[in-house]
Every structure is written in C-alpha cells, then in structure tokens.
C-alpha cells in the first residue's frame, strides 16, 4: 500500500489560507483521486445500462433486473445475471460498471464469510448495508449503484445504496438507466401487503415497462426471491410468463 504524501492529505492547500476542508483526508479505505478515476472511464468500458427493481413483502423480498450489457452503443451481452447471492439470505443487484460490480460482489462475499467464521452467526442486513456503503464510499468500486435485499431476524429489508455510499432503507426502489419507467409502475401497483407471487408480477411489469423504452435495458428478466429459507434466482427470456 502506498503511503500518502502531504499533498494527498492536504490537497496542496496553504495551511494558513483558512481552507481546512482536507484536514481529515484521506479517510480509512479512501482511494486517492477516486472522482478523477470515475470521470476518466471511457465509452469502451462494459456497462450494464440496466433496470433493477427491489420490493419488500411480508414474507421476503423480490429483486428483478434486465439481462443486457452494453459497450458504448453496442449490446455486448444478452445474458447477464445482474443479481447475485452475497449472503445466505441476501442478494445484490448491480447497475453501472461491470468490472467494478464483479469486484464488489467478490469482496462482499469474502467479508460475509469472514464474519460468519469469526462470530459464528450470519451478518445482519443493517451491518451488510453499512459494509456496502463503506466499500462504495472508498472510491474503489466507482460507478456502481446496487440494491440490497435480504431477510434477517428483524424481517425483510430493501436498501438503495448510491455510488457515493449513502444508504436508504425503502419499501421499494429502482436503479439504472430505465429506473424512471419502472418507478412509475411501482408507484401505481405497490402495496405493503403483497405476497411473494404478487411482488414477482409487479417487479416483472416494472422491468418490462423499462424494456419498452430504455435502449440500455432488454433481453429478458432475472427474478430473485429472498426469504428466511434462502435465495432463489431464475432467468426468464419470455417475460409474458411472469405477467
């Protein structure tokens, strides 16, 4: 690990000029020039484009995503799984840079296993969301906006986590380039007494609405159901089967 220099810490500011905004930087885990690195990402980076949706029900959570990845203006893959199990009763959707998202998922899985082996219990969803927020805030996984869904002793949880690391617990949430289309469906159809099957239909409808208008979303739907019994992920090329 490189030792920070005085320029890294102070940002090159005159300590007598009254601007001490960088006096506590860099923070633990923070990567130098993270914002600059994010801005320098090119159009040739593989990105998910994406529409991702998360809903909370009384019995668990439902996550849904499309299956398209893009490379600039080209569809680079039609069979991307954009939701992954990261915890025995938790899953994460990805939107943004594919490489950063894959690295984030590997890192989170490793931390979850370490926690379980050291403490003899599964990590709570609140702790997992905090860990995710800290990882994203570090700048090491720039241009990723996940949704975390899971179940613990307190019940089902859905968290929206932005690329800067903020954490918001929601009843339902969306991310990605097609989010405005999907959110309109959720605003009309979501209620807090949904069954798992009803939530799957609404989530599929929300993603389908984005597929109709968002060029970066398409090629099918991934559905993930998380309950206290575990995580189940299925792929559906024929969307009508879910509606």
Catalytic positions: 50
User: What is residue 27's DSSP assignment?
Assistant: P
> Which of 178, 158, 157, 163 lies closest to 70, judged by CA?
178
Order of strands, sheet of 69-71, starting from the edge strand that comes earlier in the sequence = 46-47, 69-71, 74-77
Cis peptide before 57 (omega within 30 of 0): no
Q: What is the DSSP letter of 84?
A: E
> What does the alpha-carbon distance between residue 181 and residue 215 come to, in Å, rounded to a whole number?
12
Q: How far apart are CA 48 and CA 66, in angstroms?
A: 9
Residue 2 is classified by DSSP as P
Question: CB of 227 within 8 A of CB of 89?
Answer: yes
């Amino acid at each position: 690990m490189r030792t920070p220099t005085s320029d890294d810490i102070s940002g090159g500011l005159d300590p007598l000029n009254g601007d001490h905004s960088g006096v506590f930087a860099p923070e633990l885990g923070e990567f130098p020039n993270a914002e600059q690195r994010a801005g320098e990402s090119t159009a040739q980076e593989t990105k998910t484009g994406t529409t991702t949706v998360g809903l909370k029900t009384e019995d668990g959570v439902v996550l849904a995503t499309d299956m398209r990845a893009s490379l600039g203006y080209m569809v680079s893959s039609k069979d991307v799984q954009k939701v992954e199990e990261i915890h025995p009763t938790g899953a994460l959707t990805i939107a943004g840079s594919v490489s950063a998202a894959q690295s984030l998922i590997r890192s989170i899985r490793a931390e979850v296993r370490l926690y379980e082996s050291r403490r003899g219990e599964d990590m709570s969803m609140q702790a997992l969301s905090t860990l995710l927020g800290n990882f994203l805030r570090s700048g090491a996984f720039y241009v990723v906006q996940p949704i975390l869904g899971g179940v613990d002793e307190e019940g089902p949880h859905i968290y929206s986590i932005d690329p800067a690391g903020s954490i918001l617990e929601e009843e339902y949430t969306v991310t990605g380039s097609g989010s405005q289309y999907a959110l309109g469906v959720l605003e009309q159809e979501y209620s807090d007494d949904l069954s798992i099957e009803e939530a799957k239909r609404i989530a599929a409808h929300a993603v389908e609405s984005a597929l109709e208008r968002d060029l970066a979303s398409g090629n099918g739907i991934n559905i993930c159901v998380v309950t206290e019994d575990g995580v189940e992920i299925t792929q559906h090329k024929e969307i009508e089967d879910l509606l």
